[in-house]
C-alpha cells in the first residue's frame, strides 16, 4: 500500500504495470535518501507520481525529463497515437499540459521539477549526482543510446539504474531498451538486481 496514491492513478495515461510501478516506488524510497531521482520519459506523469510520492517522504526531488512531443510511436498515424494529446493548432503531440495537471492533482508540485527538453540539451552542463535514473524515453536505438550515455555517468555509486520496456523477443516489443540494458551489464559497472515484468533494475558499483 502506497500512502497518498491518487484515487485516479489507474485512469492516468501511461504504459506502466502495477508491479513495475511499485518497484519504482520502493527503490526511489530507498535511494532518494541519498540524492535526487531522474526520470527520462515522463509522458503524462503516471510513473512520475510513484517516484514523486517516494521522494516526497524523504524531502528529495524528482527531475522529470521529457520534451513532451511524444516518442516515435506516439506521432500522428502511429500505433500509440492518442488524439487527446495532439495539439491540432501546433500540429504536434503535447503531453505537458496533461503532465502538469496530474502532478498538481497529486500534490507533487514542490517535489517534481519538470525538465522540458531532450537528453542532450539537459545533460550538456549537468553536474548534480543522481541517486536513481529511470530510463523510459524514446524507443529508437538512437534515443535510447543517447539517454544511456548522457545520464549513467551522473549516477552515483550504489545508485539504481532502472530501464523500462525490456523485451528479449523482438515480436513482443522494441529492442532499444533491451540493447542498453545489455550494454549496462556488459560494462562491468553495474550489478544486476533482476527484473520486474519489463522493468530492469541495476545497481551502480
Distance CA 69, CA 117 (A): 10
The CATH number that applies at residue 30 is 3.40.50.150
The reported pTM is: 0.94
Of 139, 154, 164, 171, which one is the catalytic site residue? Answer: 139
Residue 2 lies in a domain: no
Q: What is the DSSP letter of 28?
A: H
Distance CA 145, CA 142 (A): 5
Give the total number of structural domains in the chain: 1
pLDDT of 189 over the 90 cut: yes
Residue 139 appears among annotated catalytic residues? yes
Residue 122 lies in a domain: yes
| 42-69: pLDDT as tens digits | 999 999 999 999 999 999 999 999 999 8
Residue 1 lies in a domain: no
Which structural domain, as residue segments, surrounds residue 67? 9-204
Amino acid at each position: 500500500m502506497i500512502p497518498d496514491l491518487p484515487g485516479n492513478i489507474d485512469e492516468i495515461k501511461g504504459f506502466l504495470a502495477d508491479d513495475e510501478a511499485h518497484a519504482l516506488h520502493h527503490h526511489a524510497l530507498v535511494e532518494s535518501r541519498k540524492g535526487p531521482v531522474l526520470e527520462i520519459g515522463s509522458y503524462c506523469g503516471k510513473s512520475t507520481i510513484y517516484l514523486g510520492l517516494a521522494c516526497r517522504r524523504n524531502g528529495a526531488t524528482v527531475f522529470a525529463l521529457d520534451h513532451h512531443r511524444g516518442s516515435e510511436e506516439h506521432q500522428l498515424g502511429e500505433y500509440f497515437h492518442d488524439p487527446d494529446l495532439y495539439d491540432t493548432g501546433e500540429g504536434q503531440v503535447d503531453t505537458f499540459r496533461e503532465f502538469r495537471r496530474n502532478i498538481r492533482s497529486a500534490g507533487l508540485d514542490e517535489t517534481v521539477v519538470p525538465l522540458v527538453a531532450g537528453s542532450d540539451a539537459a545533460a550538456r552542463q549537468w553536474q548534480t549526482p543522481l541517486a536513481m535514473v529511470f530510463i523510459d524515453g524514446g524507443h529508437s536505438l538512437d534515443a535510447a543510446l543517447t539517454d544511456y550515455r548522457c545520464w549513467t555517468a551522473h549516477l552515483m555509486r550504489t545508485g539504481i539504474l532502472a530501464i523500462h520496456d525490456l523485451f528479449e523477443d523482438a515480436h513482443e516489443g522494441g529492442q532499444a531498451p533491451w540493447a542498453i540494458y545489455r550494454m549496462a551489464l556488459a560494462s562491468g559497472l553495474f550489478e544486476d538486481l533482476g527484473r520486474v515484468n519489463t522493468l530492469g533494475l541495476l545497481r551502480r558499483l
